[in-house]
């Protein structure tokens, strides 16, 4: 995968270099803002992938991210930085971490060291500490196995400036080529820091009293897994409606996601500060989102107990085509910030997700949609390009219920429910520009079947993305699309029976 990323970067560099000063088209395209979402985070320009270092401090949500400031394809990684007071509107800040002699700055996390265990704090204020992977290019070129190590840096000014620890790395590589993406949490019960990182086909846990010296604790994985694991996260959650606490382990998988390519998965189990256990691990892996475009989803650290929510977001793309999507000035957006909740279903546990309530402040002009039964299309939205749709349907006895979003050229994306399969879907086969990758087009199905007799869906439309939340958030699907003219119309169509719309609303979202 990294070879692929690097080759793509070299090709683009060569092209940019040979086109330099010669191609007005290239210049025009550089200022091209088409596809820019209205309410999803994007870098102003250039390449972005995973969210990193997500931490809340002094009233600000920090979003660091994998960033290459010199190109719109992946390249030498930095940590870009933005802050927000509400996870809806973001202020761009200067790059936080630059590559150095130990390597590029790959994914990782950040915490507030409230007890100043690291000693990095000054004037009685706790330091913000970032824990990330150093990826050493010389080591990779020399085909060594130990070129990924874990390092730390600290900030005493709300994440604005950073000092790298002089004794980096803090975790050396034990001889595993893919050894990265540390996520650190404070483990209350054992009063120590716990770090989880991805190591090829599993995760590894470490612990530390001070964020500097780390002791290996355990591995968690499944037998004979051929997939590469990335970007783990671990956190405790109360099961909704009970006092039971379980631990959720998130792992992003670089292949084999429900609809192909990369996706975010999770396990629910127990964690004692050293070992994560869950019954029948192989059968317990679930997908956080079954659309194609939610990768490296991780959660914010240090959300105050008085808030109590578990909040996170993911990179809204897929490594299958992320580097060739047709946006020009910038590449990739993040998903909406989401709130997770944990629910028991029979003897199983599932995560539900929904956009954070803060997005309600964007809601303008709600139009109520009346109940209607029809075999003909029902137009529910016109002349609106960013919207939230809340709709309820009676499940038909056959065929599918479809909400079709379209532009005036006939490009469209269908969000629906297939009665025979009992699955939700997003079909972007005719969504607009799709020819940049053979993996992009297609109809994507939810990973689980759902048998409810009433279909309640919430759909968020932005200039190049659709996010579906159904079954009270048990089903989340995120797909991006690229239509040069934004979708501005939504209609309900049926592929069989009369569709019975029970009612709903369409709300414009505007900043
Ligand atoms: C996931 C990932 C991480 C790595 C980063 C490099 O998308 O491959 O494992 O740290 O991207 O940019």
Please indicate, yes or no, whether residues 228 and 95 belong to a single structural domain of this protein.
yes
Residue 202 lies in a domain: yes
pLDDT of residue 14 exceeding 80, the answer is no
Please indicate, yes or no, whether residues 137 and 264 belong to a single structural domain of this protein.
yes
Range of the domain at 46: 41-335
Say which CATH number the domain at 366 has. 2.60.120.560
SS3 411: coil
Is the distance from the beta carbon of residue 179 to the nearest atom of ligand 1 less than 6 Å?
Answer: no
Please indicate, yes or no, whether residues 371 and 318 belong to a single structural domain of this protein.
no
Q: What is the pLDDT of residue 65?
A: 99
Say which CATH number the domain at 246 has. 2.115.10.20
Residue 51 lies in a domain: yes
Is the distance from the beta carbon of residue 259 to the nearest atom of ligand 1 less than 6 Å?
Answer: no
Is the distance from the beta carbon of residue 446 to the nearest atom of ligand 1 less than 6 Å?
Answer: no
Is the distance from the beta carbon of residue 499 to the nearest atom of ligand 1 less than 6 Å?
Answer: no
DSSP readout, 159-207?
Answer: TSS-EE-TT--SB---S-SSEEEEEEEEETTTTEEEEEEEETTEEEEEE
Is the distance from the beta carbon of residue 52 to the nearest atom of ligand 1 less than 6 Å?
Answer: no
Q: Which atom of ligand 1 is nearest to the CA of 198?
A: 9
Residue 411 lies in a domain: yes
Is the distance from the beta carbon of residue 152 to the nearest atom of ligand 1 less than 6 Å?
Answer: no
* Domain total of the chain: 2
Is the distance from the beta carbon of residue 135 to the nearest atom of ligand 1 less than 6 Å?
Answer: no
pLDDT of residue 170 exceeding 80, the answer is yes
SS3 27: helix
Residue 6 CA to ligand 1 centre (angstroms): 12
Which residues in 8-36 are b (16+ Cβ under 10 Å) and which e? bbeebeeeeeeeeeeeeeeeeeeeeebbb
**Which range is least confidently modeled, 31-40, 99-108, 139-148?**
31-40
Q: Which residue has the tokens 């000693």?
A: 119
List 44, 50, 86, 462, catalytic entry: 50
The pLDDT > 90 percentage for the chain reads 91
d(CA 134, CA 169) in angstroms, rounded, equals 8
485, 328 in Cβ contact below 8 A? Answer: no
Residue 265 lies in a domain: yes
Question: How confident is residue 128, by pLDDT bands cut at 50, 70 and 90?
Answer: very high
Please indicate, yes or no, whether residues 221 and 162 belong to a single structural domain of this protein.
yes
pLDDT of residue 80 exceeding 70, the answer is yes
Residue 237 lies in a domain: yes
Residue 217 lies in a domain: yes
Question: Whose CA is closest to atom 7 on ligand 1?
Answer: 50
Q: What is the pLDDT of residue 28?
A: 37
Is the distance from the beta carbon of residue 251 to the nearest atom of ligand 1 less than 6 Å?
Answer: no
Q: Which atom of ligand 1 is nearest to the CA of 1?
A: 8
Residue 77 CA to ligand 1 centre (angstroms): 9
Residue 435 CA to ligand 1 centre (angstroms): 25
Residue 50 a catalytic site member: yes
The pLDDT > 70 percentage for the chain reads 94
Question: Whose CA is closest to atom 8 on ligand 1?
Answer: 230
Query: Which whole number is the average pLDDT over 314-329?
Result: 97
pTM: 0.94
Q: What is the pLDDT of residue 282?
A: 84
Residue 149 CA to ligand 1 centre (angstroms): 13
Mean pLDDT of the chain: 93
91, 85 in Cβ contact below 8 A? Answer: no
Q: What is the pLDDT of residue 447?
A: 94
Residue where one domain finishes, among candidates 335, 369, 388: 335
Is the distance from the beta carbon of residue 296 to the nearest atom of ligand 1 less than 6 Å?
Answer: yes
Is the distance from the beta carbon of residue 49 to the nearest atom of ligand 1 less than 6 Å?
Answer: yes
Q: What is the pLDDT of residue 88?
A: 98
pLDDT in tens, 458-494: 999 999 999 999 999 999 999 999 998 999 999 999 8
Question: How confident is residue 192, by pLDDT bands cut at 50, 70 and 90?
Answer: very high
Please indicate, yes or no, whether residues 388 and 491 belong to a single structural domain of this protein.
yes
pLDDT in tens, 352-393: 999 999 999 999 999 999 999 999 999 999 999 999 999 999
pLDDT of residue 48 exceeding 60, the answer is yes
Q: Which atom of ligand 1 is nearest to the CA of 231?
A: 9
Please indicate, yes or no, whether residues 326 and 423 belong to a single structural domain of this protein.
no
Residue where one domain finishes, among candidates 320, 335, 350: 335
pLDDT of residue 314 exceeding 80, the answer is yes
Residue 188 CA to ligand 1 centre (angstroms): 29
pLDDT in tens, 194-253: 999 999 999 999 999 999 999 999 999 999 999 999 999 999 999 999 999 999 999 999
Question: Whose CA is closest to atom 6 on ligand 1?
Answer: 106
Residue 507 CA to ligand 1 centre (angstroms): 36
Instruction: Calculate the alpha carbon distances from 337 to 46, 61, 90, 236, 249 in Å.
Output: 22, 11, 12, 19, 19
Q: What is the pLDDT of residue 30?
A: 40
* Range list of H helices, 41-182: 137-141
pLDDT in tens, 388-436: 999 999 999 999 999 999 999 999 999 999 999 999 999 999 999 999 9
Please indicate, yes or no, whether residues 219 and 363 belong to a single structural domain of this protein.
no
Question: How confident is residue 76, by pLDDT bands cut at 50, 70 and 90?
Answer: very high
Residue 50 CA to ligand 1 centre (angstroms): 7
319, 426 in Cβ contact below 8 A? Answer: no
- For residue 240 the two structure tokens come to 């909704």
Q: Which atom of ligand 1 is nearest to the CA of 315?
A: 7
Please indicate, yes or no, whether residues 77 and 189 belong to a single structural domain of this protein.
yes
Query: Which whole number is the average pLDDT over 286-305?
Result: 98
Please indicate, yes or no, whether residues 277 and 375 belong to a single structural domain of this protein.
no
Query: Which whole number is the average pLDDT over 187-195?
Result: 98
User: Given ligand 1 and candidates 74, 182, 199, 296, which is best to mutate, with the most ligand atoms within 8 Å of its CB?
Assistant: 296
Please indicate, yes or no, whether residues 306 and 375 belong to a single structural domain of this protein.
no
Please indicate, yes or no, whether residues 302 and 379 belong to a single structural domain of this protein.
no
Residue where one domain finishes, among candidates 319, 335, 351: 335
Q: What is the pLDDT of residue 425?
A: 98
Phi and psi for 13 in degrees, rounded to 5? -60, -45
Q: What is the pLDDT of residue 5?
A: 52
Is the distance from the beta carbon of residue 178 to the nearest atom of ligand 1 less than 6 Å?
Answer: no
Q: Which atom of ligand 1 is nearest to the CA of 295?
A: 7
Residue 22 lies in a domain: no
Residue 29 lies in a domain: no
d(CA 415, CA 403) in angstroms, rounded, equals 5
pLDDT of residue 17 exceeding 60, the answer is no
pLDDT in tens, 238-272: 999 999 999 999 999 999 999 999 999 999 999 99
pLDDT of residue 7 exceeding 50, the answer is no
- Cα-only R_g, the chain: 23
Please indicate, yes or no, whether residues 239 and 279 belong to a single structural domain of this protein.
yes
């Amino acid at each position: 995968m990294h070879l692929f990323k690097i080759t793509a970067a070299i090709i683009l560099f060569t092209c940019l270099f040979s086109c330099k000063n010669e191609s007005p088209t290239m210049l025009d395209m550089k200022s091209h803002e088409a596809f820019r979402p209205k309410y999803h985070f994007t870098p102003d320009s250039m390449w972005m992938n995973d969210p990193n270092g997500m931490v809340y401090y002094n009233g600000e949500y920090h979003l660091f991210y994998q960033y290459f400031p010199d190109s719109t394809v992946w390249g030498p990684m930095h940590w870009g930085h933005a802050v927000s007071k509400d996870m809806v509107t973001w202020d761009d800040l200067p790059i936080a971490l630059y590559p150095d002699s130990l390597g590029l700055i790959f994914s990782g996390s950040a915490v507030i060291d409230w007890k100043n265990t690291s000693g990095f704090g000054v004037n009685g204020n706790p330091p913000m500490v970032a824990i990330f992977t150093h990826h050493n290019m010389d080591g990779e070129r020399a085909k060594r196995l130990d070129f990924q190590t874990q390092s730390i840096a600290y900030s005493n000014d709300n994440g604005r400036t950073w000092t790298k620890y002089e004794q980096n790395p803090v975790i050396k590589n034990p001889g595993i080529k893919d050894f990265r993406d540390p996520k650190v949490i404070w483990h209350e019960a054992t009063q120590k820091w716990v770090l989880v990182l991805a190591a090829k086909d599993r995760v590894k846990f470490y612990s530390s009293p001070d964020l500097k010296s780390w002791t290996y604790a355990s591995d968690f994985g499944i037998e004979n897994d051929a997939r590469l694991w990335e970007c783990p996260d671990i956190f405790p959650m109360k099961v909704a409606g009970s006092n039971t606490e379980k631990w959720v382990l998130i792992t992003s998988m670089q292949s084999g996601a429900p609809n192909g390519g990369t996706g975010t998965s999770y396990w629910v189990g127990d964690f004692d500060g050293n070992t994560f256990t869950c019954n029948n691990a192989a059968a317990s892996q679930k997908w956080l989102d079954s659309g194609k475009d939610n990768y490296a989803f991780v959660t914010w650290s240090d959300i105050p107990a008085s808030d109590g929510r578990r909040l996170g977001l993911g990179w809204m793309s897929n490594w299958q085509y992320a580097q060739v999507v047709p946006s020009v000035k910038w590449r990739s957006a993040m998903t909406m910030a989401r709130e997770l909740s944990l629910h028991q279903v029979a003897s199983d546990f599932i995560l539900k997700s929904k956009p954070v309530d803060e997005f309600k402040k964007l809601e303008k002009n709600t139009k109520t949609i009346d109940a209607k039964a029809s075999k003909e299309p029902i137009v529910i939205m016109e002349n609106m390009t960013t919207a939230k749709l809340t709709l309820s349907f009676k499940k038909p006895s056959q065929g599918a219920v479809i909400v079709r979003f379209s532009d005036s050229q006939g490009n469209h994306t269908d969000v629906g429910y297939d009665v025979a399969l009992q699955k939700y879907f997003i079909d972007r086969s005719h969504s607009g520009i799709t020819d940049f990758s053979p993996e992009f087009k297609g109809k994507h199905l939810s990973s689980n079947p759902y048998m409810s007799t009433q279909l309640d869906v919430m759909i968020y439309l932005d200039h190049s993305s659709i996010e579906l939340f159904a079954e009270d958030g048990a089903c989340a699907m995120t797909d991006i699309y690229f239509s040069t003219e934004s979708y501005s119309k939504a209609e309900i169509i049926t592929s069989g029976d009369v569709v019975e719309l029970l009612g709903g609303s369409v709300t414009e979202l505007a900043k």
